[in-house]
Amino acid sequence: MLAYIVRRTAYGFVVVLGVLLLLFALFFLYAEPIEMARRAVGEKAPPEVLEQWVVNHGYDKPTWWNSESPGDTMLVDHFRSMLTFDFGRSDADDSPILERIRAGMGPSLSLTLPIFTVGVLLGVGLSLFVAYFRETYIDRMGVVLCVLGMSLSILLYIIGGQFLIGKMLRWFPISGFDASPAVMLRFLALPVLVGLAEGLGGSIRFYRTVFIEETGRDYVRTARAKGCGDGRIMARHVLHNAMIPILTRVVVSIPFLFTGSLLLESFFGIPGLGSMMVDAIHGNDFATLRAMVYIGALLFIAAQILTDIAYTLVDPRVRLA
Amino acid sequence: MRIADPAVTSPVIATFSKIAGLRDFSQRLQALRDESPEFAALRIDRQYEKAGSIEGVRLHGDFGLEIVLTEPYPQILYWFAMPFTTPVPWEAVAYYDGEEGRPFFKDHPVGCGPFEVSEFDKQSKIVMSRNANWYGVQHPEWKAPGTVYPSEGEAIDRRLGRLDPAYVGRSLPLLDRIELRLEKEHIPAFNKFLQGYYDASGIVHESFDKIVQEGGLSPEMAARGMKLEKSVDPDIYYIGFNMNDPVIGAPAGERGRKLRQSMSLAIDVVEFNRVFNNGRGVPAQSPIPPGIYGYEQPYRNPFRQLDLTRAQALLEAAGYSGGIDPETGKPLRLSFDLGDTSTAGRLRFQFFVDQWAKLGIDVEIAATNYNKFRQKVKEGAYQIFMWGWIADYPDPENFLFLLWGTMAQANSGGPNTANFDHPEFNRLFEEMKGLDNGPERLAIIHRIRSLLEEERPWIELYHRESYALYHSWMRNVKPAGLSLPAAKYVDIDPIERKRMRDAWNQPILWPAYAGFALVALIAIPGVVTFLRERQ
Amino acid sequence: MSLVEPHVLSNIVVAVLLGGAVAAFAIARRSDLWSQAGRELIGRRPIAIGAIALFVSVAMLDSVAWVGGGGAAGNVLEQSRPRSVVDRMFAPDFKEKSYSAPLADIEFYGGADLSHPGSHLLGTDILGRDVLHLTLKGARVALLIGGLTSLIVIPLALLMGISAGYFGGRIDDIVFFVVSTLASIPTLLLLIALIMVLGHGPVQVCVAMGVTGWVGFCRIVRGETFKLRELDYVQAARALGVSEIGIILRHILPNLMHLVVITFVLLFSGLVLSEAILAYLGIGIDGSWGQMIDQARDELARDPIIWWNLVAASTALFALILSVNFVGDAVRDILDPKTLGEGE
């Protein structure tokens, strides 16, 4: 078992190295340092200032190989800074990236956590309800509603939510954020609602398939034959046995809680990591993008290792391959 | 000295290098830092001291400063009026060094004004609060100028009621706390202003017709007690031609000039402003915007008035009859190179393309991201572009240098993206820039203007007009263009604000009840089945 | 006239696609399994299939273009440009100066007279272009996004997945490594970074979406090939000395076709929806519905409100995705034996 964990983690590390190499190719080979400097310092800056900026940000070093001092290349710098979490400063405004990530995580989590928890609870609950009434009008209508919900673009959810609920009905403020908890709830209500509505269709449909597959199995028939009530079967046996696919879906989406939501955050003015990334995209801030992609990948890989290990613990049939 | 510090990467160092010895100081400092790490670790004031003094800067007693320049440059006075030449205490610079959790000095400004920055979050907001150490707050009994509300001002201030007697003589600042918020989406931001969550706002063009009617506030908004302030910004938006291009630039000689003139005559900027800017914006006649010396309101550029007939005639004279390029037998193909791929940007560019299409010229929008665009500019692989410039300081030199040959992109990588390098213009410009405002300077500006009329390296589009809105509870606002420090006069009536905000934001709840009812109605049969089965 | 001109190229692509579709149809007719599945699909989802057929034919009509011909008299530029069948369905210079409401007689702001009063079914946009025309043209872009990207994703995933699953060993290790690396990076961010590198344009965006999109399908193919390889008849074929390529082409690939069809349908809607997000970020494809929605989101705030742009683009987008999703569900039910078995 321990050997498996070690092997799995080692493989995860190799994948991290692969991700880093890819990031290097994406962000360094293509970058035009002087133009990045111009974008960062301003159109009006003279050439020597731009060159100074390039030196300050380490973009003047040789790309792959430095014959004088082998450790002093962009490639080495890239791996070193990423692996030690020393992300340096933003290409757009020189602010320390790690600090900004720390500051942005709170607002991001305060948006994604409610969407995630309520979403999972609602999704499982409603899909149990729908699966329970399978082959009736409730099930059919539920599935149709899910497909309808999945077919709308998230842009429409956001635009529609802001327009209807924020502007016409005035239930909640249209956008904004405040760190004090009492006020925060008011601001978060609308984006959370929009986020829920957007994700619910897909997750209900997924859980429903899982549950229906599970109710077709023999043990459910046995239980029913033994005289168990349908509700009891659903709640106890089916839910319990469907845990593995549900957990997989849930655990794999946890990393994305930390990286926030690009669209929701920028539309609703939440100063989290998602809107930070939108800014980085618009501002050509490669250093920030690189760090964020890396962190997202790292969390994802970690979550996958954990699920794999959890599998072997939960289900002895899973091969230790 | 900080501006000369290479570690600061100040974008204005080139300008200040006209101070004798500044660049030497900068180089000495860098050399010393490169040589010894011990020196680089010294406190910042010790480093500056060791690097020696700047030759062209001399002190005269406690209140006198003499600065020697290497060449005549009257505009330097404007630069000294800008925020980045505010004196700063070196203690603060040394303390806020980005180490041990302390922010950098530039993220933690220390100054001596009526407000201090208490929160600075680049992502969302800046909070300023009353500076308890300001001399005006510590010594209200001095009644020092600028610390009490004035009783005199410009004539227009009295007329607009800015010199309210109820305020005269009160100690400044009137506000305890100012919060500036960054909103990335302008529509929600404006809606929040309408709902009363912001005190002041610009106008988003989508809502313009609701707010402004016939140049003033609409009756609905006026009834809310809203106030409107208008001002013209010292800036210029223009379409430029790459003058090095063989088809539309200088190499094409007379043909190119006629083509540019023709294309300039086809652009209807009044219509552009009507469609995209709600009619705001002053159609530009020359690079010099209103409020800058050399701008003359009655002046009309003969090539900037919409005239399709004349444009067609010029196009024919250029050898492109009906827009057809004789070489290919097809409409002349040009590319409009832009560094903006947004949807909103694309619509604007399409507007110009549609106008040139009326001449039969086939202009293609080549929108790329910013980096790719800059790359094209560097390689000279562009024909037409669109750009804007905002004044650094109120002098015509700051606009006309954008066409100076020395500043050409191709020559020096400078901001003259049009690569306009015209000997006569260069001579006139060099003469003009050292002169003081006066008849001699104006005469040269007139000559430059008529030269640009003919040559058309730019199609001047418009100077922006800003409209700002304030709610009734915000008092004593005066738009100040390039200069900003007017916040200390502003006052707010929080009780009024609370009252109106509540009145405007009554939620409409019935759809929620209706929704619940509908869901219940649909679910009831299901629940009934459920109960029946349990029994 | 040279072959490389875009409209000639697009005409050829249309011809090839049509030919391919007819050929595929003919082959499918011969196989009992596929023709039965097709009949069942049409029986189950007639409306959705009809809607998709409509979208496809609009897109096809918009891809067939030629220069010249009547309908653009007096406009040199229009005459010299290739115009598609869809373009020719609208009057020449079917333009106003700016916004006008559906079927309105006057301009929306200012109330000036229109040059084509009462004839814009869905109104005009800020530049005075007919919204119905733009919406119809969006169909082609949407199908291009879904189609071209699938043409990249499916062959790539098949190649990688089959070679990994069939040959195993080193090849499998390498493919699995590439797949896990790509899968670890948040999709949207990888997409944005790729577009930054590749540049802005319809083909580039499709390539970027293809590179990020093949990973999931590759995993499925790999697993399925792994299972197929162990089957008796494949082993028998190998014992008889049939070449590896022959086995893959004859025995593995045909047994993966149902997965290809399911993946294509499910992939399609996801791709078109993610283009809408790219449009918001300013890196979408010109003329897409996503771009129209992005442009229209500001118009909702106008007062009086301008709704026709948003409604037209989002209805078209919604209708296409909805039909595809419905058909996708049905296709999965019909073709995937796993779910097929537990219907009752």
Of residues A279, A273, A240, the one with CA closest to residue A255:
A273
Q: In terms of domains, do B175 and B303 share one?
A: no
Residues A176 and A281 in one domain: yes
User: Could you tell me if B257 and B264 are in contact, meaning their C-beta atoms sit under 8 angstroms apart?
Assistant: no
Percentage of chain A exceeding pLDDT 90: 11
Does residue C67 belong to any structural domain of this protein? no
Considering the domain architecture, whether residues B144 and B292 belong to the same structural domain is answered as no
What are the chain A neighbours of B185 within 8 Å (beta carbons)?
A: 175, 266-267, 269
Q: What is the pLDDT of residue B330?
A: 85
Same domain, A213 and A274: yes
Percent share of chain C, pLDDT over 70: 93
C181 and C199 in contact (C-beta within 8 Å)?
no
User: Is residue A288 a part of any domain in this protein?
Assistant: yes
Determine the 3-state secondary structure of B119 from DSSP.
strand
What is the mean predicted confidence (pLDDT) over B77-90? 79
With contact defined as beta carbons under 8 Å apart, do C84 and C134 qualify? no
Q: pLDDT band at C146, cuts 50/70/90?
A: confident
Extended strands (E) in B92-220: 115-121, 125-130, 177-181, 200-202, 212-213, 216-217
Domain identity same for B38 and B78 = yes
pLDDT in tens, C303-340: 677 889 999 999 999 999 999 988 888 888 887 655 43
pLDDT-wise least confident of A286-290, B270-274, B506-510, B515-519: B506-510
CATH number for C205 = 1.10.3720.10
Size of chain A in residues: 321
Phi, psi of A49 (to 5 degrees): -70, -40
**B23 and B170 part of one domain:** no
- As a whole number, the mean pLDDT across chain A is 81
Lowest mean pLDDT among A96-100, A307-311, B265-269, C282-286: A307-311
Q: Using the predicted structure, report yes or no on whether residue C202 has a pLDDT greater than 90.
A: no
- Both A267 and A146 in one domain: the answer is yes
Identify which of A153, A213, A259 has the shortest CB distance to residue C186.
A259
Residues of B in contact with C291 (CB under 8 A): 343, 346
**How many CB pairs below 8 A link A and B?**
124
Chains in contact with A, where contact means 3 or more Cβ–Cβ distances below 8 Å, are: B, C
pLDDT in tens, B275-299: 888 778 899 999 999 988 999 989 9
ipTM above 0.90, yes or no: no
B339 domain-assigned = yes
> Chain C: nearest CA to A295, how far in angstroms?
9
Q: Chain A residues with CB inside 8 Å of C190's CB?
A: 293
Q: Looking at per-residue confidence, does B31 or B155 come out higher?
A: B31
Residues A123, A222 within the same domain: yes
- Please state the separation of Cα A141 from the chain's center in Å: 30
The predicted model gives B157-169 an average pLDDT of: 76
Interface of A with B in 137-156 (CB under 8 A): 137-138, 141
How many beta-carbon contacts under 8 Å exist across B and C? 77
Domain ends where: B32, B64, B98? B98
**C177: which chain A residues are within 8 Å (Cβ-Cβ)?**
14-15, 18
The pLDDT score that the predictor gives to residue A317 is 57
Quick check: C114 and C102 in contact, CB under 8 A? no
Question: What is the mean pLDDT of the segment spanning C109-135?
Answer: 85
Are A193 and A153 contained in the same domain? yes
- Give pLDDT, residue C198: 84
pLDDT at residue B261 in the model: 94
Q: Would A319 be classed as within a structural domain? A: no
Question: Which pLDDT value is given to residue A29?
Answer: 72
Residues A26 and A120 in one domain: no
Instruction: Kindly state whether C77 is in contact with chain B, defined as any CB-CB distance less than 8 angstroms.
Output: yes
A22 interfaces chain C, CB cutoff of 8 Å: yes
Are A251 and A120 in a shared domain? yes
pLDDT, average across residues B412-424: 88
C321 assigned to some structural domain: no
Window from B236-245, B439-448, C52-61 with minimum mean pLDDT: C52-61
In a shared domain, residues A159 and A263: yes
Q: Is C197 on the interface with B (CB under 8 A)?
A: no
Nearest one of B344, B349, B421, B350 to B380, comparing CA atoms: B421
A68 and A210 part of one domain: no
Min Cα separation C164/chain B (Å): 38
Q: Are strands B465-470 and B227-232 parallel, antiparallel or unpaired?
A: antiparallel
Burial of B41 from C-beta contacts in 10 A (0-12 / 13-18 / 19+): exposed
Query: Looking at the domain assignment, is residue C186 inside a domain?
Result: yes
In a shared domain, residues A124 and A232: yes
Is A293 contained in some domain?
Answer: yes
Instruction: Give tens-digit pLDDT for B237-269.
Output: 999 999 999 999 989 889 999 999 999 999 999
Residue range(s) defining the domain that contains residue B138: 112-182
Indicate if the pLDDT at residue B339 is higher than 90.
Answer: no
Residue B47 pLDDT level (bands cut at 50, 70, 90): confident
CB contact under 8 A, B184 and A278: yes
To the nearest whole Å, the CA of A300 is away from the closest chain B CA by 26
**Considering the domain boundaries, does residue A234 fall inside one?**
yes
Same-domain status, B122 and B65: no
Q: Residues near B77 by Cβ (< 8 Å), separated by ≥ 6?
A: none
Chains that touch B (3 or more CB pairs under 8 A): A, C
Residue C51 has pLDDT above 70, yes or no: yes
Report which of residues B406 and C342 the model is more confident about.
Answer: B406
**Alpha carbon distance C256, A51 (integer Å):** 55
Angle at C282 between CA C278 and CA C285, to 5 degrees: 65
Confidence of residue A67 (pLDDT cuts 50, 70, 90): low
Centre a 10 Å sphere on the Cβ of residue B291 and count the other Cβ atoms it contains.
15
Cα gap B262→B454, rounded to integer Å = 11
DSSP assignment of A110-172: HHHHHHHHHHHHHHHHHHHHHHHTTTSHHHHHHHHHHHHHHHS-HHHHHHHHIIIIIIIS-SS
**Number of domains composing chain A:** 2
Q: Please work out, in degrees rounded to the nearest 5, the angle formed at the alpha carbon of residue B223 by the alpha carbons of B217 and B229.
A: 35
On whether residue C281 sits in a domain, the answer given is yes
pLDDT at A73 over 80: no
Of the candidates B75, B98, B121, which is a domain's last residue?
B98
- For residue C80, the chain B residues in CB contact (below 8 A) are 330-331, 362
Q: What is the extent of the structural domain holding C251? A: 141-307
Q: Are residues B174 and B247 in the same domain?
A: no
Interface test with C, best of A22, A147, A151, A174 (most C CBs within 10 A): A151
Taking 60 as the threshold, does the pLDDT of residue A220 lie above it?
Answer: yes
Amino acid residing at B528: V
Which residues does chain C have within 8 Å of residue A292's beta carbon, measured at their own beta carbons? 189
Grade residue C61 by pLDDT with cuts at 50, 70 and 90.
confident
Residues B280 and B349 in one domain: yes
Q: Which of A65-69, A236-240, B139-143, C146-150 has the lowest average pLDDT?
A: A65-69
User: In angstroms, rounded to a whole number, what is the distance separating the alpha carbons of residues B281 and B279?
Assistant: 6
CATH of the domain at A191: 1.10.3720.10
Q: Is residue B168 very low, low, confident or very high in pLDDT (cuts 50, 70, 90)?
A: confident
Nearest Cα to Cα of residue B447 among B462, B429, B422, B420: B429
C236 in a domain, yes or no?
yes
Cβ-nearest to B342 among C80, C282, C301 = C282
The amino acid at residue B274 is: R
pLDDT in tens, B198-242: 887 777 766 676 677 666 777 777 788 888 877 888 899 999 999
- Mean pLDDT (whole number) for A306-321: 67
Q: Is B331 on the interface with C (CB under 8 A)?
A: yes
Give the pLDDT score at B500.
Answer: 82
**Of B183, B194, B201, B178, the residue nearest B468 (C-alpha):** B201
**Is residue A115 pLDDT above 90, yes or no?**
yes
pLDDT digits (tens, 9 = 90+) for B499-513: 888 887 778 888 888
Tell how strand B491-492 and strand B474-475 pair up: antiparallel
Cα atoms in the Cβ-side hemisphere of radius 13 Å centred on B505: 19
Q: What is the DSSP track for C223-282?
A: HHHHHHHTSHHHHHHHHTT--HHHHIIIIIHHHHHHHHHHHHHHHHHHHHHHHHHHHHTT
A95: in domain: no
Does residue B271 share a domain with residue B296? yes
Domain count, chain C: 1
Residue B496 lies in a domain: no
Contact flag B11-A49 (C-beta cutoff 8 Å): yes
CA of C67 to nearest chain B CA: how many angstroms apart?
12
Which residue carries 């009530």 as its tokens? A229
**B14 or B424, which is more confident:** B424
Q: Does C163 map to a domain?
A: yes
Q: What is the pLDDT of residue B236?
A: 93
pLDDT for res C341: 34
A227 touches chain B (CB under 8 A): no
CB contact under 8 A, B506 and A170: yes
Contacts of B462 (CB under 8 A, 6+ apart): B236, B237, B269, B272, B273, B277, B281, B282, B283, B284
pLDDT for the residue B241 = 95
Better-scored residue on pLDDT, A29 or A9 = A9
Question: Are the C-beta atoms of residues C112 and C97 closer than 8 Å to each other?
Answer: yes
Pair B411, B292 in one domain = yes
Q: In terms of domains, do B88 and B121 share one?
A: no
Domain that holds residue A185: 104-314
Q: Are residues B129 and B272 in the same domain?
A: no
End-to-end CA distance of chain B: 88
Measured between beta carbons, the chain B residues lying within 8 angstroms of A33 are none
Question: Least CB-CB distance to C77: which of B187, B362, B368?
Answer: B362
On whether residue B504 sits in a domain, the answer given is: no
Residue A171 and residue A230 share a domain? yes
Confidence of residue B534 (pLDDT cuts 50, 70, 90): low
Across A74-88, B109-123, B422-436, B514-528, the highest mean pLDDT is recorded for B422-436
Q: pTM of the entire structure?
A: 0.82
pLDDT at position A319 over 70: no
Neighbours of chain C (3+ CB pairs under 8 A): A, B
Q: Could you say which of B98, B121, B138 is where a domain stops?
A: B98
A60/B contact by beta carbon, under 8 A: no
Task: Say which of B375, B511, B512 has its CB closest to residue A32.
Answer: B375
| Mean pLDDT across B176-205 | 77
**pLDDT of A134 over the 80 cut:** no
pLDDT at B471 over 60: yes
Residues B316 and B421 in one domain: yes
> Residue C158: which region, alpha, beta or left (left: phi > 0; alpha: psi -120 to 50)?
alpha
Mean pLDDT score of chain B, rounded to an integer? 83
- Which pLDDT score, from 0 to 100, does residue C343 have? 30
Percent of chain B with pLDDT over 70: 94
Q: Are residues A14 and A69 in the same domain?
A: yes
